[in-house]
Structure 1
Amino acid sequence: MARSKEFEESVVLDKAMRLFWEQGYEKTSMTDLVNHMGIHRKSLYDTFGDKHTLFLKSVDLYDHKISSALAAGVKRSKTATEALQFIFLSLIHGEESPASGCFIVNSTVELAARDKDMNHRSTEMFANTEKLIKDIMVWGQQEGEFTTEYNAEVLAEYLHNVSIGLRGMAKTSMTKEKLLRIAMLSMDLILR
């Protein structure tokens, strides 16, 4: 008779995500994962597969958490300007571990050039974020909040690039005040 699991899968996956987020893929060993997750090595392999599969599941978990939070915040916004401010402020203040930067950006920089699975995921995740921003741009242009000098897709590409830069800079000792200035200047450039 098979033994039942002595751990909650979502809880230990969250622990793995946080360790990968803090240390990166290459630096994190299976021993680190076993110790940090608090489960036996065999249970880790039986439940999550190998290190690479566990890492990809961790990336997916992070993306789901961040995407859900951003979509919910945008949905609650009364104006497109408020929705865009929410996104920028979330990137600067809202991450659970701002000193670690963005797990997706970190993982993309570390692995995407040589890991087709991470490259595919990051491309898809970035496209989804860009679409969210594009929808905000369309909303703002229709309501007369944002410039129509550029189409919504071009503005979304620009603002997404700014957001990735902010997430990368958040990993440094850069002050939040500086990050906010950059975000607010970007907002000023698109307001009518």
Structure 2
Amino acid sequence: MARIKEFDEDAVLLKGMRLFWEQGYEKTSMQELVSHMGIHKGSMYDTFGDKHSLYIKTLKRYSEMLEQSVKRRMDVTRSAKEAIRMLFEMAIHQREEFPEGCFLVNTAVELAKRDSQARDWVHLNWASTEQLIRDLIVEGQQSGEFPKTHNAEWLSYYFNNALIGLRVMVKSTTNREKLSQIIEMTMSVLE
């Protein structure tokens, strides 16, 4: 007879994600994960697999959370420009229960060169962001909100790169005015 889990799998996964996010993959030991997540080592392996499997599951969960958050906020935006600005503002106004910066950016910097699964998750998410931005730019161009002089695909690369850079900046500065000015300058490309 299978044992009944005595913990909320998603809550425990979020605790593991937070620890990886704060410390990185290499610096985080299995013992730290077990302790931080509040479960037994056997339960950890039975539920999440080894450390690498857990890490990939936390990346997947982070991606889902990010997508849900963007979707919720997109539902209340009134224009393509407002939606693009919202993506940037999300990067600097993160919820307090999570570390500063972006878990995907951390993964790209730490693991993407040597871990194909981590690299695939990063590329998948960045491609998704580029597609979202490209769609918003096309929408803005069709409605007359943006000039049609720029290539929407190239602009999506530019804006995604700027967004990644902003997510890195968030980790290294508390100067919100500076971050806001970066957003303003980036958005001026659409004028």
What is residue 126 of structure 1 aligned with on the other side? 126
Q: C-alpha distance in 1, partners of 2:97/2:163?
A: 16
What is residue 158 of structure 1 aligned with on the other side? 158
Amino acid at match of 2:188: D
Taking a change above 3 Å as real, the CA distance of residues 33 and 177 of structure 1, as seen in their structure-2 partners, is same
What is residue 50 of structure 1 aligned with on the other side? 50
Instruction: State the 1:22 CA deviation.
Output: 0.6
Measured against aligned partners, the alpha-carbon deviations of 1:138-179 in whole angstroms (never above 9, x if no partner) come to 111111111222111111110110000000111112411111
Instruction: State the 1:28 CA deviation.
Output: 0.5
Q: Does 1:3 align with 2:8?
A: no
RMSD of aligned residue pairs (Cα, Å): 1.3
Aligned-partner SS, 2:172: coil
What is residue 79 of structure 1 aligned with on the other side? 79
Q: C-alpha distance in 2, partners of 1:99/1:51?
A: 20
Unaligned runs of 5+ in 2: none
What is residue 89 of structure 1 aligned with on the other side? 89
What is residue 70 of structure 1 aligned with on the other side? 70
Instruction: State the 1:97 CA deviation.
Output: 5.6
| Bigger mean CA offset, 35-44 vs 65-74 | 65-74
Number of paired residues?
191
Find runs of 4+ consecutive structure 1 residues off by over 6 angstroms.
Answer: none
Seq. identity, %: 48
Amino acid at match of 1:88: F
CA contact (8 A) 1:98 1:171 kept: no
Measured against aligned partners, the alpha-carbon deviations of 1:67-113 in whole angstroms (never above 9, x if no partner) come to 11112212321111111121111111134467531000001110000
Calculate the TM-score normalised by the size of structure 2. Answer: 0.95
Q: Does 1:112 align with 2:115?
A: no
